[in-house]
Amino acid sequence: MMEAEFIAALRRLPLHEGAQGLSDDVARLGDLVITTDTMIAGVHFLPDDPPGDVAWKLVAVNLSDLAAKGAEPVGILLNYPLSDTGWDRAFLAGLNACLSALGCPLLGGDTVGLPEGAARVLTVTAFGRADAVPARSGAKAGDRLWVTGTIGDAGAGLKAAQRGDGPDALIAAYRRPRPRLAEGRTLAPLAHAMMDVSDGLLIDGWRMAAASGLALTIALDRVPLSTTYRSYAGDDVLAAATAGDDHQLLCALPPEVAPTSIATCIGSFAVGKGLVLTQSGEVVALPPRLGFEHRA
């Protein structure tokens, strides 16, 4: 079953009001913001990725969802498949490094025995606390679209890791993403809508616009690319804007707000629907794939 069909079916089950109609990346319970992400070897990470990096990424992708709601991390649960001792030890070392670096303690979890030959499936559930929690769906016509940091580094890092030819900075962006927790706390009280860029800038921007019932124009020439990205991948902004794993924050801000020290303005929302791309003011065609979509 496709993800969209499955989620539509889930919406017909008894839902908690904190589920927010399953329209966001987080659930809410009082002032708690809750998110969960599962990673599978061969899908979300390479089977030969260093286990410590897998641990880091698993925690970081969850904390990135908290960052997108302006939340302060409280703790995580870990669901872990026990396997060979060397892998488990290296995973624990990376987990320790990540929890210490990001100031997020372990709350609990579950361990299971991994059957011979089975793919590793790992889950983290993260808890944060927040006052102002911007939804994915709150953008208003006239809002500008802003994104933190640079786009495409992780996607290029994945290619670099596969080819074994890449700059360390790009591979680190793929393997050890830094959730934008401080930026999220700064932007959350200002933002009409916010989410993290996990499946690709274009698809996630499109999702924010669709959830908000608006049209979105993105100026490709304003999408921030790092110097390292440009020297490795050239000026291929479409590749950067459709690659996953950026874990930057995407937010809709009213026109009078301009947090230029932590983000870049790359587009605007208007009445209507759909996504329009421009380059130097001219409309350009959408690529066939806007980003990463989960499917069976």
* CA dist 193 → 72, 128, 181, 226, 252 (Å): 18, 18, 16, 25, 5
CA atoms within 13 A on the CB side of 44: 20
| Shortest distance, position 78 Cβ to its own copies, whole Å | 8
Q: Which is nearer to its own copies, 111 or 231 (CB)?
A: 111
CB atoms within 10 A of CB 134: 25
Residue 37 counted as an annotated binding residue: yes
Rg of the Cα atoms in the chain: 19
Residues 257-292, buried b or exposed e (16+ Cβ, 10 A)? eebeeebbbbbbbeeeeebebeeeeeeeeeeeebbb
Identify residues 99-138 at the interface with its own copies (CB under 8 A): 99-100, 104-115, 118-119, 121, 123, 125, 127
Q: Which is nearer to its own copies, 125 or 268 (CB)?
A: 125
| Shortest distance, position 45 Cβ to its own copies, whole Å | 12
Identify residues 9-28 at the interface with its own copies (CB under 8 A): 9-10, 12-16, 18-19, 22, 26-27
Query: Among the candidate windows 93-101, 204-212, 234-242, 283-291, which touches its own copies by CB under 8 A?
Result: 93-101
Q: Which is nearer to its own copies, 22 or 283 (CB)?
A: 22
Interface residue with its own copies, options 46, 49, 72, 74 (CB under 8 A) = 74
CB 159 within 8 A of CB 149: no
Query: Among the candidate windows 165-173, 239-247, 250-258, 288-296, which touches its own copies by CB under 8 A?
Result: 288-296
CA atoms within 13 A on the CB side of 94: 21
Surface-to-core class of residue 198, CB atoms within 10 Å of its CB (0-12 exposed, 13-18 middle, 19+ buried): buried
| Shortest distance, position 283 Cβ to its own copies, whole Å | 33
| Shortest distance, position 33 Cβ to its own copies, whole Å | 11
Query: Among the candidate windows 35-43, 133-141, 216-224, 252-260, which touches its own copies by CB under 8 A?
Result: 35-43
Surface-to-core class of residue 4, CB atoms within 10 Å of its CB (0-12 exposed, 13-18 middle, 19+ buried): exposed
Q: Does 278 bind its own copies (CB under 8 A)?
A: no
CB 224 within 8 A of CB 147: yes
**Tokens for 12?**
């017909």
- Indicate the annotated binding residues for substrate: 44, 245, 292
Binding site as annotated, residues for ATP:
109-110, 136, 198
Which residues form the interface with its own copies (CB under 8 A)? Answer: 1-3, 6-7, 9-10, 12-16, 18-19, 22, 26-27, 29-30, 32, 34-40, 42-44, 74-75, 77-85, 88-89, 92, 95-96, 99-100, 104-115, 118-119, 121, 123, 125, 127, 294-296
